């Protein structure tokens, strides 16, 4: 619809002589239809020579695109695959790749640019407005649909043939089971694998740096040591799978500084062992602050207080780090007194 066809009441409020406050037009109805702006013809609409110029520009762009495509094919045939050329500022590049990229890029760009120029300068730019229609169907259409539905049900005789109706319902109810059966292809169930680690009663705590079992006197107050269970062979697939759950850090705290009663019972002479796997999304925790006994996960800054049951004192982690109960064996080495009593890693498992 052009501006000449726009009804009077569809023009901007300011054109309708609305009330003014301080020079600003205020419509009686703030949500009144503002109508369409006044149509401004383009130069190409009123000047044939300008329209011809635009036409030639569009044709030129499409022609360049055709030439670039021919150049693409020629480059593909002529340029050797292994030819290298120096191009500033790119340096040494494959001549064939460069030529193919450039020619194809030009061909596509010119088609796009030509189409845009055509649409902006020569195609009709008449504004069109359409009223929004009510979404609900009129009452007579609804009545017709309902009567057609009833007639269809009647013709299918589904009400009079309960055998067909019931078997159909059964078939429809059972067909999704095929999808459930296919879930089996996702692999074996993890069963207890994600809830258990290789830690067990009597497993020695092996220093991950030295590969040697640790004695209590090797662990200094204020130090952070990473340990793994004995028997894991580095470099094997099993090592990667198991260490992802069984990585443990130990620190030594003055027993008087340990606030949590269970933590104290599960420690040995102030040495406490905790899972190194962050309970947020499983990053390895690696930063320890001696004075406060806080450990920090570098991924999202969850902070745990190792002197208070490794409870979360900051960050997105959902629960405390699991503690490993430790003691000393007859030969004076630190050993585990069992597996973790809860799943290690992200808080997801709390909901399981
Ligand atoms: S993984 Fe540790 S804070 Fe997110």
> What pTM does this model have?
0.52
Q: Of 9-23, 69-83, 158-172, 231-245, where does the model show the most confidence?
A: 69-83
Q: Which long-range contacts (CB under 8 A, 24 or more apart) does 86-90 make?
A: none
- Domains of the chain: total: 2
Position 27 scores a pLDDT of 52
Position in ligand 1 atom list of the atom nearest CA 285: 2
Q: Please indicate, yes or no, whether residues 115 and 210 belong to a single structural domain of this protein.
A: no
To test the pocket of ligand 1, the residue of 283, 284, 285, 286 to mutate (highest count of ligand atoms within 8 Å of its CB) is 283
- Ligand 1 centroid to residue 189 C-alpha, Å: 26
Q: Please indicate, yes or no, whether residues 117 and 209 belong to a single structural domain of this protein.
A: no
- Residue finishing a domain among 121, 155, 172: 121
In Å, how far are 68, 255, 291, 307, 314 from 260, measured between CA atoms? 76, 10, 17, 7, 18
Closest to 257 (Cα-Cα) out of 296, 219, 291: 291
Averaged pLDDT, 186-196: 81
The residue segments making up the domain with residue 100 are 43-121
Position in ligand 1 atom list of the atom nearest CA 281: 1
Q: Give dist(CA 264, CA 258) in Å, integer.
A: 6
Averaged pLDDT, 314-336: 94
Position 349 scores a pLDDT of 57
Percent of the chain whose pLDDT exceeds 90: 62
Position in ligand 1 atom list of the atom nearest CA 316: 3
Q: Which two tokens stand for residue 71?
A: 């150049």
Q: Please indicate, yes or no, whether residues 81 and 209 belong to a single structural domain of this protein.
A: no
Q: Please indicate, yes or no, whether residues 328 and 213 belong to a single structural domain of this protein.
A: yes
CA dihedral sign of residues 325, 330, 334, 338: negative
> 258 lies in a domain?
yes
> 254 lies in a domain?
yes
- Ligand 1 centroid to residue 246 C-alpha, Å: 17
In this predicted structure, the answer to whether residue 4 has a pLDDT above a threshold of 50 is no
- Ligand 1 centroid to residue 304 C-alpha, Å: 11
Place of tokens 């059972």: 174
| Contact yes or no for 266/272 (Cβ under 8 A) | yes
Span 48-68, pLDDT tens digits: 999 999 999 999 999 999 999
- Residue finishing a domain among 53, 86, 121: 121
Looking up residue 330, the CATH number of its domain turns out to be: 2.102.10.10
Position 269 scores a pLDDT of 93
Q: Which phi and psi (to 5°) does residue 278 adopt?
A: -60, 140
> 315 lies in a domain?
yes
Averaged pLDDT, 10-27: 44
Q: Please indicate, yes or no, whether residues 226 and 326 belong to a single structural domain of this protein.
A: yes
Q: Running DSSP on this structure, what letter comes out for residue 170?
A: H
Cis previous bond, 89, omega within 30:
yes
Place of tokens 């490794």: 310
| Contact yes or no for 243/306 (Cβ under 8 A) | no
> 235 lies in a domain?
yes
Q: Please indicate, yes or no, whether residues 217 and 322 belong to a single structural domain of this protein.
A: yes
DSSP H helical segments within the chain, as ranges? Answer: 43-46, 48-78, 95-121, 139-156, 162-174, 177-182, 237-246, 261-265
To test the pocket of ligand 1, the residue of 297, 304, 310 to mutate (highest count of ligand atoms within 8 Å of its CB) is 297
Q: Give dist(CA 224, CA 293) in Å, integer.
A: 10
Q: Please indicate, yes or no, whether residues 117 and 211 belong to a single structural domain of this protein.
A: no
Q: Give dist(CA 58, CA 320) in Å, integer.
A: 68
Q: Please indicate, yes or no, whether residues 229 and 329 belong to a single structural domain of this protein.
A: yes
Please list, in sequence order, all residues whose beta carbon lies within 8 angstroms of the beta carbon of residue 103, skipping any fewer than 6 positions away. Answer: 68, 69, 71, 72, 75
DSSP H helical segments within 212-252, as ranges? Answer: 237-246
- Residue finishing a domain among 95, 121, 147: 121
Span 269-317, pLDDT tens digits: 999 999 999 999 999 998 999 899 999 999 999 999 999 999 999 999 9
Place of tokens 């693409």: 72
> 142 lies in a domain?
no
Provide residues with CB under 6 Å of ligand 1: 278, 280-283, 297, 299-300, 302, 315-317
Q: Give dist(CA 292, CA 270) in Å, integer.
A: 15
Q: Please indicate, yes or no, whether residues 221 and 324 belong to a single structural domain of this protein.
A: yes
DSSP-based three-state secondary structure for 29: coil
In this predicted structure, the answer to whether residue 253 has a pLDDT above a threshold of 60 is yes
Q: Using 50, 70 and 90 to split pLDDT, how confident is the model at 348?
A: low
> 76 lies in a domain?
yes
Name the closest-CA residue to atom 4, ligand 1.
300
To test the pocket of ligand 1, the residue of 316, 321, 346, 347 to mutate (highest count of ligand atoms within 8 Å of its CB) is 316
Position 20 scores a pLDDT of 43
> 109 lies in a domain?
yes
> 245 lies in a domain?
yes
| Contact yes or no for 236/192 (Cβ under 8 A) | no
Span 110-141, pLDDT tens digits: 999 999 999 999 998 888 888 778 888 899 99
In this predicted structure, the answer to whether residue 25 has a pLDDT above a threshold of 70 is no
CA-based end-to-end distance of the chain: 62
Position 293 scores a pLDDT of 94
């Amino acid at each position: 619809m052009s501006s000449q066809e726009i009804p009077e009441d569809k023009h901007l409020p300011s054109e309708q002589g609305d009330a003014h406050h301080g020079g600003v037009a205020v419509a009686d109805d703030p949500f009144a239809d503002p109508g369409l702006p006044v149509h401004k013809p383009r130069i190409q609409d009123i000047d044939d020579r300008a329209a011809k110029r635009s036409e030639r520009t569009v044709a030129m762009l499409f022609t360049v695109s055709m030439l670039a495509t021919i150049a693409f094919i020629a480059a593909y045939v002529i340029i050797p695959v292994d030819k290298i050329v120096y191009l500033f500022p790119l340096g040494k590049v494959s001549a064939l790749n460069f030529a193919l990229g450039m020619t194809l890029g030009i061909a596509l760009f010119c088609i796009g640019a030509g189409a845009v120029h055509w649409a902006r300068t020569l195609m009709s730019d008449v504004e069109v407005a359409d009223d929004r229609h009510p979404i609900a169907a009129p009452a007579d259409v609804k009545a017709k649909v309902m009567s057609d539905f009833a007639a269809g049900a009647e013709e299918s005789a589904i009400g009079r043939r309960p055998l067909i109706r019931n078997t159909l319902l059964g078939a429809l109810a059972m067909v999704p089971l095929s999808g459930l059966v296919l879930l089996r292809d996702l692999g074996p169930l993890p069963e207890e694998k994600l809830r258990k680690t290789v830690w067990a009663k009597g497993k020695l705590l092996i220093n991950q740096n030295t590969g040697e079992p640790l004695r209590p006197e090797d662990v200094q107050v204020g130090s952070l040591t990473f340990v793994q269970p004995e028997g894991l062979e580095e470099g094997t697939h099993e090592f990667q799978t198991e260490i992802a759950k069984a990585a443990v850090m130990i620190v030594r705290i003055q027993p008087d500084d340990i606030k949590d009663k269970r933590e104290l019972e599960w420690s040995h002479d102030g040495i406490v062992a905790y899972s190194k796997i962050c309970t947020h999304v499983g990053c390895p925790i690696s930063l320890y602050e001696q004075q406060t006994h806080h450990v920090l996960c570098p991924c999202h800054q969850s902070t745990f207080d190792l002197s208070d049951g490794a409870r979360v004192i900051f960050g997105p982690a959902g629960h405390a780090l699991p503690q490993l109960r430790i003691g000393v064996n007859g030969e004076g080495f630190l050993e585990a007194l069992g597996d973790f009593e809860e799943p290690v890693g992200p808080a997801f498992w709390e909901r399981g």
